[in-house]
Structure 1
Amino acid sequence: MGFSQEILIEIDNIWQANLNHPFVKEIGSGTLPIEKFKYYMIQDYVYLIDYAKVFAIGALKSTDLATMAHFSSLLHATLTDEMALHRKYAAQFNISEMTLASSQPAPTTLAYTNYLLSVAQTGGQSELLAVLLPCMWGYAEIGKSLTQSPGAKHALYGEWIAMYSSPEFNNLTRWLIQQFDSLTAQQTASQRIHLTNIFKNSLRYEVLFWEMSYQEEKWLLS
Structure 2
Amino acid sequence: MKFTDQLWQDISPVYEAILDHGFVGNLLDGSLPGATFQYYIQQDALYLTDFSRALNQLAARAATPNDMLQFTQFAQNAILVERALHETYFTLYNIQPETRKMPACFAYTNYLLATTSLQAIAVGAAAVLPCFWIYRQVGKYIYQQAIQENPYRAWIDTYAGDAFDQSVNQMLALTDAYAETAGPIELDQMREAFRISSRLEWYFWNDAYTQNRWLV
TM superposition score category, shorter chain reference: over 0.9
| Partner amino acid, structure 1, of 2:113 | L
Equivalent residue of 2:144, what SS?
Answer: coil
Counterpart check, 1:174 vs 2:161 = no
Match of 1:197 in 2: 192
Q: Any stretches of 5+ residues in structure 1 without a counterpart?
A: none
| Partner amino acid, structure 1, of 2:9 | I
Q: CA deviation at 1:165?
A: 2.5
1:131-169 deviation line (CA, Å, top 9, x unaligned): 1011111110111122232345423x2222222221101
| Partner amino acid, structure 2, of 1:208 | Y
Counterpart check, 1:105 vs 2:96 = no
When residues 122 and 21 of structure 1 are mapped into structure 2, their CA distance, relative to the original with a 3 A threshold, is same
Question: TM-score with structure 1 length normalisation?
Answer: 0.90
CA distance in 2, matches of 1:2, 1:152: 36
Question: TM-score with structure 2 length normalisation?
Answer: 0.92
CA distance in 1, matches of 2:159, 2:83: 12
CA distance in 2, matches of 1:82, 1:152: 25
Q: CA deviation at 1:69?
A: 1.7
Q: CA deviation at 1:37?
A: 0.3
When residues 95 and 147 of structure 1 are mapped into structure 2, their CA distance, relative to the original with a 3 A threshold, is closer
Match of 1:139 in 2: 135
CA distance in 2, matches of 1:103, 1:94: 16
Q: CA deviation at 1:189?
A: 2.9
Match of 1:73 in 2: 73
When residues 55 and 153 of structure 1 are mapped into structure 2, their CA distance, relative to the original with a 3 A threshold, is farther
When residues 86 and 152 of structure 1 are mapped into structure 2, their CA distance, relative to the original with a 3 A threshold, is farther
CA distance in 2, matches of 1:65, 1:128: 18
Identical residues among aligned pairs (%) = 28
Structure 2 contact 23–205 (Cα < 8 Å) conserved: yes
RMSD (CA atoms): 1.7
Q: Any stretches of 5+ residues in structure 2 without a counterpart?
A: none
| Partner amino acid, structure 2, of 1:209 | F
- Larger mean CA deviation between 140-149 and 118-127 belongs to 140-149
Match of 2:180 among 179, 185, 192: 185
In the alignment of these two chains, the number of paired residues is 216
